[in-house]
Amino acid sequence: MIFIEIAELKSRLNSQSINLIESPKTQKLFAVAMKNGTEEVALKVEQSIDTNLPVKFMYESAETFMEGCIVNVKPSNPPRHTW
């Protein structure tokens, strides 16, 4: 999996902002990349996302970029020992 910062995601989508939205019908979360005040691209979002924790966009490959998802990320574990 590939992880990029939200700033990089906005740059790749040529968007000024990304809005996190809850559907009034399903209560599911999704994100919308905004360009010039217009909704341009809908993106998947981890349903249990905590915006107080680090957030990144995760995708599998260049071919599946638009199938990616905004997720919380955990800092990598430091090594217990290095040889």
- pLDDT of 77 over the 60 cut: no
The pTM of the whole model exceeds 0.85: no
Q: What are the pLDDT digits (tens) for 35-72?
A: 887 778 899 999 999 989 899 999 999 999 999 999 99
Give me the residue spans of the domains in the chain.
2-72
Check: CB of residue 73 under 8 Å from CB of residue 51: no
SS3 percent helix, strand, coil of the chain, rounded to 5, is 15, 40, 40
Q: What are the pLDDT digits (tens) for 7-18?
A: 999 999 999 999
Per-residue confidence band for 28, with pLDDT thresholds at 50, 70 and 90: very high
Distance between CA atoms of 29 and 40, rounded to whole angstroms? Answer: 17
Query: What is the model's pLDDT at position 62?
Result: 93
